[in-house]
Chains A and B, each alone.
Chain A
Amino acid sequence: MDLVAENLTRSFGRRRVVGPLSFRVAPGRVLGVAGPNGSGKTTLVRTLAGLIRPTTGGVFLEDGDGRRSPRDAADAIGWVAPDLSLYGELTARENLQFFAKLHGRPAAPAWADEAIAGVGLDPARIAATPLHALSTGQRQRIKLVYATLHHPAVLFLDEPSSNLDDAGRAVVARVVAEQRTRGVAVVASNDAGDLALADERVTL
């Protein structure tokens, strides 16, 4: 499934924050979005993910069956961002089981524990802990599981390495590598390590 942006712009009032931008990202490719603070990286990612409507132009997910807007293909999208939160009063395991159910995945506790171990966390310590009691870095890793548990065709990673240590950054690199096998990834960041994961780059 290709990610296509056509003459995409996004404005707030009279202030244009993004665009006009046009690009196509094919499956197996990773697009980097770079730019200083306030340049519109997060707005672009949210617009591409269908969380904000473009002001002009369009965003499409395109395959052999035609093209759909991200809003009509929300099940094909994964998203991680600093302003994304999961449920703090629920445990890591309960959060993952809840979102797995919404995505139609088998949501046994053992699966959730395996997913938690997959991002380098110890399920025996983490799985039954309420999310609000975890560190920011641990929560960031749980968010990576949330974003990928349904094998999205397009994965958006906004500042994916924020609050992560070296082991966490390696997890991000692995997540991006895995995403190449199933579709497109978009990485928006100021971090040179994050942007090095990309094949092509849009600078705002």
Chain B
Amino acid sequence: MTERPARPGVFGAAAALFRKDLLSEWRTRVSTNALLLFAFAVLVLVGYAVGPASLSPEDRPTVHSVLLWIVLFFSAMTGLARAFVKEEDAGTAAALRLAAPPPAVLLGKLLSNLALLFVVTLFVVPVFLAMMSFELKSPALFLLLLLFGNLGLASACTFTAAIVAKASAKGTMFAVLAVPLLLPPLVGAVMGTRVAATETELSAGLDFVRLLVAYDGVVTTAAFLLFDAVWRE
């Protein structure tokens, strides 16, 4: 009888899936184009409607923080749901179910979505800062908020995408499930960004970073605990 090869661990399989997703996205650019086009459209609208000079100086940090995270949030909602929907719609999900352990599938998809979100962030944030003349007094705090805020967005969106992938009304289901799940980190990220725009000390906004880290930990852990049932049923 022929010896069967031993499967790689979760991280090896997740890395293979991550590379596959990047290659697929590079070839099709479906999610990247959707996210970037949406982000571009919203940036242009915000630039025309609000602009750098139409707000009083004391209102700017709050309004700019809200607008920036709205762009990132809705961009995430536009593109990240495709992580699992694409596998189900294309008929490749069953092949993946047999070939990879569930935690590896979730980790691989989470990494893919995180990479996609960081690409969008790299596009949105510099354009937004320049277009709105948004000055940051604590760039380090802002970077920490972006890092952990994006992780929270990616984690919650990836898990929600897995839940809705087999539903008939995927778009509606995704919004209904993801919006309440994403409100707490969004509020924290917005408030933290306002602090980053008004305070020079990193410590002034660390509570918001801690909130995001705690949220990321809880959501990511819950996602890994529940994913097996979601993915295989």
Q: Say whether B51 faces chain A, with CB atoms less than 8 Å apart.
A: no
Of A98-106, A162-170, A190-198, the one contacting chain B is A98-106
B28 and A103 contacting across the interface, CB-CB below 8 Å: no
* CB 8 Å contact bits of B1-30 with A (1 = contact, 0 = none): 111111110001100110110011001100
Q: Say whether B169 faces chain A, with CB atoms less than 8 Å apart.
A: no
A37 CB to nearest B CB, Å: 20
A184 CB to nearest B CB, Å: 11
Q: Say whether B210 faces chain A, with CB atoms less than 8 Å apart.
A: no
Known contacts A77-B98, A79-B94, A102 near B4 by CB under 8 Å: no
B7 and A102 contacting across the interface, CB-CB below 8 Å: yes
Bound complex: CA of A130 vs CA of B8, how far in Å? 26
B4 and A85 contacting across the interface, CB-CB below 8 Å: no
Bound complex: CA of A76 vs CA of B99, how far in Å? 10
* Inter-chain residue pair count (beta carbon < 8 A): 87
State the majority secondary structure of interface residues on A: loop
Bound complex: CA of A94 vs CA of B121, how far in Å? 30
Known contacts A87-B92, A88-B90, A90-B27, A102 near B2 by CB under 8 Å: no
Closest to B96 in A: A102
Bound complex: CA of A76 vs CA of B6, how far in Å? 11
Q: Say whether B126 faces chain A, with CB atoms less than 8 Å apart.
A: no
Bound complex: CA of A85 vs CA of B96, how far in Å? 10
Closest to A80 in B: B95
Q: Say whether B233 faces chain A, with CB atoms less than 8 Å apart.
A: yes
Q: Say whether B100 faces chain A, with CB atoms less than 8 Å apart.
A: yes
B7 CB to nearest A CB, Å: 5
Closest to B19 in A: A98
Closest to A46 in B: B94
Q: Say whether A89 faces chain B, with CB atoms less than 8 Å apart.
A: yes
Could you tell me which residues of chain B, from 75 to 95, have a CB within 8 Å of some CB in chain A? 90-92, 94-95
A178 CB to nearest B CB, Å: 9
Could you tell me which residues of chain A, from 61 to 100, have a CB within 8 Å of some CB in chain B? 71, 74-79, 81, 83-90, 94, 98-99
Q: Say whether A146 faces chain B, with CB atoms less than 8 Å apart.
A: yes
Q: Say whether A152 faces chain B, with CB atoms less than 8 Å apart.
A: yes
Q: Say whether A34 faces chain B, with CB atoms less than 8 Å apart.
A: no
Residues of A contacting B16 with CB < 8 Å?
A: 98, 101-102
Residues of A contacting B5 with CB < 8 Å?
A: 103-105, 150-151
Bound complex: CA of A29 vs CA of B56, how far in Å? 80
Bound complex: CA of A50 vs CA of B104, how far in Å? 18
Question: Can you list 29 contacts pairing A with B, beta carbon distance less than 8 Å?
Answer: A27-B1, A49-B98, A50-B98, A53-B233, A74-B98, A74-B101, A77-B98, A81-B94, A84-B94, A86-B92, A87-B24, A89-B24, A90-B20, A90-B23, A90-B24, A98-B16, A98-B20, A101-B8, A101-B16, A102-B7, A103-B5, A104-B7, A104-B8, A130-B27, A146-B95, A150-B4, A151-B2, A151-B5, A181-B2
Contacts beyond the supplied A84-B94, A101-B12, A151-B5: 7 A-B pairs with Cβ under 8 Å: A74-B98, A75-B4, A79-B98, A83-B91, A84-B91, A104-B5, A104-B7
